[in-house]
Structure 1
Amino acid sequence: MSAPGRFGEDFGDASPSRQLTGLERTIDRAAHRLLAGKPATGARAVLIEAAVFLLKQAWACIFGALMLVVIVAARLWYPDDAGLARNDAMTIAAVAIQIGMLVFRLESGRELWVIVLSHITGTVMELFKTDVGSWAYAADGVLRIGAVPLFSGFMYAAVGSYMVRVYRLHDLRFTRYPPIWATTVVAVAIYANFFTHHYIFDARWILLASVVLLWAPTVMHFRIWRATLKVPLLLIFVGVALFIWIAENIATLSGAWLYPSQTDGWELVSGQKIVSWFLLMIISVVMVTWVYRPKRPEVS
């Protein structure tokens, strides 16, 4: 348990919390006024920490949550005979969300770099995967590249957005983080394998083992409000991959895209996709470390 601090306490100029947006600073000040003087121990303190954690996680997920709302709303309420195709409407909505995030300064400049990189790498993979029949989108609309509607890239951007937001909102610190060059090599190999496994040996299990070997010693320190907790980083990776898989099930149930096994009737996305999302998520993690270098915990 660390000394009492602010909702998003600064630790110096190098701290990710220096990158808080204007709205986040306002929330930070309001939270500090509300929580200052509250008990540091006991059941009430635990409830406060839990509430702050959930609020920070919800805010970190804002991009992806809005995208999921758009997908579900398009399924439930968008008319089939509308003049604007459903996929085009979702693309326009995704662009509007992104513009709104920038106009209202809900994203930092560093965050935008990760989102753009995630968007590009995701769209390139989408083009390939739809071409080889891994999954398919409805063939309507004009805002597309080949068989890929443009809103699809924003789903990968949502993952990148979450990664970089959670990094600064919780002022993440790490012990025994692997060298960036080594994690970059693994990330590049993971990305390449998503393409090459269709033609040569599928190296996903080797890559999974490489991830475990690299990150197994790493412990993540994340600040909530007063408390700074420590957890093995691999456990966090598994949790995030599972969460993305759940979101994917909601998206496919809403018809945003379908796997071949779902064309005759929806069914749960294969549990094996959790491994795929785990590996794909590593790419986002590494891109975040290009923007925010992993830092060791502060010595008190």
Structure 2
Amino acid sequence: MKQLWTFGVEQAKSCLFAVVIFSTLAITQMIELTNRYDWILLVCIITQVIMLITKLETLDELKVICVFHVIGLALEIYKVHMGSWSYPEEAWSKVFGVPLYSGFMYASVASYLCQAWRRMDVKLAHWPPTWSVAILSAAIYFNFFTHHFIYDFRWVLKAATVLLFIRTIVYYKVNEKIYQMPVVLSFLLIGFFIWIAENIATFFGAWQYPNQSDTWQLVHFSKISSWLLLVIVSFLIVAMLKHIKGRNRESLT
């Protein structure tokens, strides 16, 4: 029970940025604010500054978060343009119909991964060649764009992920005791919990799917599949950066 409690506490600390975003969504939904999306963006920026100043977040982690903000915002602009979902409220900080705070929701996934990686001293065994990981990450990301016009390769990409990472193990530390988990299982678990978070986010009006325009409905289970792919991309990018940085550090020594 002590190990489980410590694990839960460390996970909660790692989710701090995501918790701030969801709390802001809830509070701004309950009180009437004009340009609510702009206020959410301001809170996200202030939170990032505070986390950096208080060293809850490192400068390298902030750089990763900025990369994910750009990647997420590009995907959001495209998906909104294609009618996959919408942001119906008015805001000054909208770009092509997408509020800038939306990129921080993707960045919160990166923030969690970076924080958990550092706090739990994550190590990976049997990591595939970096070039193959880079190709898979790019293929998954671009499939979010191309499936509107050509065949949706998501199941092919999932199968490729399993084959590529079938031997990869995640090692993490809780109170100096080391545990292990297949990396594919960690993808599935994180994707499932993000789907739960997505239901909370849409309930508080973070964005809106077409079937939620009249009244809120549970996000379809098929979205777990999409989040699973996004988690894979996020994890692979963070892992590649950690792997490259670690290799560079070894070469310097």
Per-residue Cα deviation, 1:265-298 (whole angstroms, up to 9, x for no partner): 1111011111101101111112212321188xxx
Q: Please give the residue correspondences for 1:1-300 in structure 2 after superposition, counting only pairs within 5 Å.
A: 47-77=1-31, 79=32, 82=33, 84-293=34-243
The alignment partner of 1:293 has SS state of: helix
Tell me, in whole angstroms, the C-alpha distance in 2 between the residues paired with 1:158 and 1:208: 23
The answer as to whether partners of 2:52 and 2:59 remain within 8 angstroms in 1 is: no
Structure 2 unaligned segments of length 5 or more: list them: 247-253
Per-residue Cα deviation, 1:206-249 (whole angstroms, up to 9, x for no partner): 11111111112111111101321111111111110001000000
The alignment partner of 1:59 has SS state of: helix
Tell me, in whole angstroms, the C-alpha distance in 2 between the residues paired with 1:290 and 1:209: 20
Tell me, in whole angstroms, the C-alpha distance in 1 between the residues paired with 2:89 and 2:120: 41
Shift of 1:68: 0.8
Question: What TM-score results when the alignment is normalised by the length of structure 1?
Answer: 0.79
**Aligned AA for 1:156?**
Y
**Aligned AA for 2:7?**
F
Shift of 1:255: 1.1
Shift of 1:193: 0.6
The alignment partner of 2:90 has SS state of: coil
1:14 equivalent in structure 2: none
Shift of 1:165: 1.1
**Aligned AA for 1:275?**
S
Identity %: 38
The answer as to whether partners of 2:35 and 2:89 remain within 8 angstroms in 1 is: no
The answer as to whether partners of 1:49 and 1:226 remain within 8 angstroms in 2 is: no
- Larger gyration radius, structure 1 or structure 2: 1
Tell me, in whole angstroms, the C-alpha distance in 2 between the residues paired with 1:219 and 1:105: 29
CA RMSD of aligned residues (A): 1.3
Structure 1 unaligned segments of length 5 or more: list them: 1-46, 296-300
Higher mean displacement: 284-293 or 51-60:
284-293
Per-residue Cα deviation, 1:116-156 (whole angstroms, up to 9, x for no partner): 11100000000000001000012301111110011100000
The answer as to whether partners of 1:180 and 1:289 remain within 8 angstroms in 2 is: no
Tell me, in whole angstroms, the C-alpha distance in 2 between the residues paired with 1:291 and 1:184: 11
Structure with the largest fraction of helix: 2
Per-residue Cα deviation, 1:149-176 (whole angstroms, up to 9, x for no partner): 1110000000001111111111112221
Q: Relative CO higher for 1 or 2, CA cutoff 8 Å, sep ≥ 6?
A: 1
Tell me, in whole angstroms, the C-alpha distance in 2 between the residues paired with 1:55 and 1:182: 34
The alignment partner of 2:243 has SS state of: coil
The answer as to whether partners of 1:171 and 1:223 remain within 8 angstroms in 2 is: yes
**Aligned AA for 1:165?**
Q
Higher mean displacement: 53-62 or 176-185:
176-185
Runs of 4+ displaced beyond 3 Å: none
